[in-house]
């Protein structure tokens, strides 16, 4: 079966190449859009994603907040009051303050200062996102972090030791992150006191409270206790807050609709282009299929033969598309567009490939089923 299928594929190389190219283009476009969407969703949930969730498993924010990038100020006393809740081991105040950074060249840019208490720095950055320096360096006078990929965005050096001005006050970059970014702007991490000072944030306010749960305690149960005891605030599982933020921005900004429509268009166009190409190839080989039937091949055998060709096209097309997607991913990563494909996404792309190729082959199968064996003996 496989040998015969390969012979049929080689019979008309032009159409076979066209089918494979059609699959590659469709899957590459779909994978490209999914990768870009993955990058954008990573930015949307960046404020929570880049925090130290192994310490602050719960975030307490204003009760109307469903977007972690839009936090309302809370009374700082809440940080201490939350420690009385059963199951809470520790609490940490977080400050997210808008500010402006000025470089030695005179260029200015908006940033988001993220401050949390030393030495834990629960607000971030995560340890695996640190490129140079250490969390302890953020405790020094005037110490802030900067993002490696923002060097190209700002067109300014952001190496450790670089002096800048934030809100008209001198600061020094003591830590450099890599891929610790967010949808709300460039992140500069520092201590909570310096975030207030540089960002002119009220001394008696915090943007959120990170809660560390006692070992063995359920995060969901501690959230329920906090929500039942305190008014005007809501406790979120940190991961749930990140996912809610991503869903809120994706829907409200129509990013999901844009990417989804492009993916659907790529699937539909690939389905019909490949299906019609396979149909055309079947017409060219009508006498061959008729000969197979004339010498005893059943309709089931012929259908399996066509489906086998479709699977071979799908396999080759998927491998080529995957190689191109990996080349694309590596290329754009150098420019700061960092994303990766999960095993589930790759399986999804493979499923779409099989749907496009095998589904498109139904056009050819329907035509071949109508071929009479005797037709090969007609002039």
Residue located via tokens 């129509």:
254
Residue 211 and residue 298 share a domain = no
Over residues 334-349, the mean pLDDT reads 85
In a domain, 246, yes or no: no
Report the distance separating Cα 343 and Cα 300, nearest Å.
34
Over residues 326-350, the mean pLDDT reads 86
Residue 85 and residue 27 share a domain = no
Where in the sequence is the domain holding 36, given as residue range(s)?
2-43+254-377
- Calculate the CA dihedral of residues 105, 109, 114, 120 and round it to 10 degrees: -30
Residues 6+ apart with CB under 8 A from 25: 270
In a domain, 331, yes or no: yes
Q: Does 195 have pLDDT greater than 90? A: yes
Report the distance separating Cα 21 and Cα 13, nearest Å.
12
pLDDT in tens, 290-325: 666 666 667 677 778 778 888 888 899 899 999 999
Least-confidence region, from 229-233, 277-281, 366-370: 366-370
Tokens read off for 366: 């329907």
Over residues 226-251, the mean pLDDT reads 92
Banded model confidence at residue 227, pLDDT cuts 50, 70, 90: very high
Least-confidence region, from 15-19, 48-52, 178-182, 339-343: 15-19
Residues 6+ apart with CB under 8 A from 39: 337, 338, 339
What is the number of alpha carbons within 13 Å of residue 54 lying toward its C-beta? 5
Amino acid 96: pLDDT: 94
pLDDT in tens, 15-69: 778 888 888 888 898 888 888 888 888 888 899 999 999 999 999 999 988 899 9
pLDDT in tens, 118-175: 999 999 899 999 999 999 999 999 999 999 999 888 888 899 999 999 988 999 999 9
Instruction: For the chain, give the mean pLDDT.
Output: 86
Residue 150 and residue 194 share a domain = yes
Tokens read off for 65: 């907040």
Q: What is the pTM of this model?
A: 0.81
Banded model confidence at residue 242, pLDDT cuts 50, 70, 90: very high
Query: In Å, what is the CA distance from 83 to each residue of 15, 116, 238?
Result: 70, 17, 18
Alpha helices in the chain (DSSP H): 2-11, 13-44, 46-49, 77-81, 150-154, 192-199, 219-229, 238-252, 255-284, 286-294, 299-333, 343-368
In a domain, 240, yes or no: no
In a domain, 241, yes or no: no
Least-confidence region, from 114-123, 206-215, 355-364: 355-364
Amino acid 297: pLDDT: 63
Residue 125 and residue 29 share a domain = no
Q: Does 184 have pLDDT greater than 90? A: no
| DSSP label of 374 | G
Residue 222 and residue 258 share a domain = no
Residue 271 and residue 166 share a domain = no
Instruction: Look at residues 231, 266, 284 and tell me which one is the last residue of a structural domain.
Output: 231
In a domain, 237, yes or no: no
Residue 193 and residue 154 share a domain = yes
In a domain, 51, yes or no: no
Amino acid 376: pLDDT: 47
Least-confidence region, from 56-60, 82-86, 274-278: 274-278
pLDDT in tens, 94-122: 999 999 999 988 899 999 999 999 999 99
Residue 93 and residue 132 share a domain = yes
In a domain, 269, yes or no: yes
Amino acid 284: pLDDT: 66
Q: What share of the chain in percent tops pLDDT 90?
A: 48
Report the distance separating Cα 288 and Cα 310, nearest Å.
17
Residues 6+ apart with CB under 8 A from 288: 8, 11
Please state the domain count of the chain.
2
Residue 272 and residue 371 share a domain = yes
Tokens read off for 23: 């699959």
Residue 173 and residue 322 share a domain = no
Instruction: Look at residues 197, 231, 265 and tell me which one is the last residue of a structural domain.
Output: 231
Banded model confidence at residue 288, pLDDT cuts 50, 70, 90: low
Amino acid 268: pLDDT: 83
Residue 221 and residue 98 share a domain = yes
Is-contact 143 216, C-beta < 8 A?
Answer: no
Residue 14 and residue 160 share a domain = no
Amino acid 235: pLDDT: 95
Over residues 331-336, the mean pLDDT reads 81
């Amino acid at each position: 079966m496989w040998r015969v299928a390969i012979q049929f594929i080689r019979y008309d190389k032009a159409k076979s190449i066209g089918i494979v190219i059609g699959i590659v283009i469709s899957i590459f476009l779909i994978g490209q859009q999914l990768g870009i969407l993955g990058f954008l969703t990573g930015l949307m949930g960046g404020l929570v994603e880049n925090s130290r969730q192994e310490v602050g498993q719960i975030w307490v924010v204003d009760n109307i907040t469903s977007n972690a990038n839009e936090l309302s100020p809370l009374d700082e006393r809440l940080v201490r009051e939350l420690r009385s809740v059963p199951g809470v081991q520790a609490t940490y105040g977080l400050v997210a303050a808008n500010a402006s950074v000025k470089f030695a060249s005179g260029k200015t840019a908006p940033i988001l200062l993220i401050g949390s208490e030393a030495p834990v720095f629960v607000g971030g950055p995560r340890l695996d996102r640190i490129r140079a320096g250490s969390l302890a360096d953020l405790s020094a006078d005037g110490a802030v972090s900067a993002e490696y990929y923002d060097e190209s965005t700002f067109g300014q050096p952001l190496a450790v030791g670089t002096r800048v001005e934030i809100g008209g006050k001198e600061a020094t970059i003591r830590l450099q992150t890599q891929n610790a970014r967010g949808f709300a702007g460039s992140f500069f991490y520092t201590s909570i006191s310096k975030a207030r000072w540089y960002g002119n944030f009220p001394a008696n306010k915090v943007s959120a409270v990170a809660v560390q749960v006692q070992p063995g305690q359920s995060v969901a149960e501690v959230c329920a206790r906090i929500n039942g005891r305190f008014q005007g605030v809501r406790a979120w599982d940190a991961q749930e807050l990140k996912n809610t933020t991503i869903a809120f921005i994706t829907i409200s900004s129509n990013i999901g609709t844009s990417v989804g429509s492009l993916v659907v268009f790529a699937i539909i166009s690939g389905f019909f282009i490949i299906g019609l190409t396979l149909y055309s190839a079947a017409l060219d080989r009508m006498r061959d299929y008729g000969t197979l039937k004339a010498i005893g091949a059943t309709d089931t055998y012929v259908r399996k033969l066509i489906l086998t060709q479709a699977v071979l096209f799908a396999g080759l097309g998927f491998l080529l598309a995957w190689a191109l997607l990996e080349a694309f991913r590596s290329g754009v990563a150098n420019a700061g567009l960092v994303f990766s494909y999960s095993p589930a996404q790759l399986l999804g792309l493979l499923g779409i490939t099989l749907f496009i190729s095998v589904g498109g082959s139904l056009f050819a199968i329907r035509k071949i089923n109508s071929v009479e064996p005797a037709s090969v003996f007609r002039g």
